């Protein structure tokens, strides 16, 4: 009879196979239609749920999370469905800034005497 093969054992401490993650939700509002790179179409003005998944960086004396994914929940192409689209958070911020700039009145220049 043949003995079953066994995986080598190590005395080094094992890290957990479990990854601690959390999801943070935020609502972003756009007053005008906007475009995000990678989405492939213009999204209508309105409020959007944005979810950010973060993963715990283990081994520190205090909890620190790093962003691993950002998704926006947007109306589907036929508007009857909802899509979860992975996006670049920097692109989302830039779109928000463009929207705010477009909504602001143009500055009034100085009058010269």
pLDDT digits (tens, 9 = 90+) for 59-104: 889 989 999 999 999 999 887 899 999 999 999 999 999 999 987 7
- How confident is the model at residue 71, as a pLDDT? 97
Residue 28: inside a domain? yes
Please determine, for residue 12, whether its predicted confidence score (pLDDT) is greater than 70: no
- Is the entire prediction scored with pTM above 0.85? no
Total domain count, the chain: 1
- How confident is the model at residue 14, as a pLDDT? 47
Residue 30: inside a domain? yes
Query: What is the domain extent for residue 63?
Result: 21-99
The span from the CA of 108 to the CA of 113, in Å, is 15
- How confident is the model at residue 102, as a pLDDT? 87
Residue 66: inside a domain? yes
Residue 6: inside a domain? no
């Amino acid at each position: 009879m043949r003995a079953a093969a066994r995986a080598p054992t190590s005395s080094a401490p094992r890290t957990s196979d479990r990854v601690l993650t959390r999801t943070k939700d935020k609502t972003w509002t756009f007053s005008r239609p906007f475009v995000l790179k990678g989405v492939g179409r213009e999204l209508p003005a309105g409020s959007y749920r944005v979810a950010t998944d973060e993963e715990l960086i283990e081994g520190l004396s205090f909890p620190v999370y790093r962003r691993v994914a950002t998704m926006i929940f947007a109306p589907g192409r036929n508007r009857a469905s909802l899509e979860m689209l992975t996006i670049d958070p920097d692109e989302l911020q830039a779109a928000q800034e463009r929207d705010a700039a477009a909504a602001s009145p143009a500055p009034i220049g100085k009058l010269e005497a």
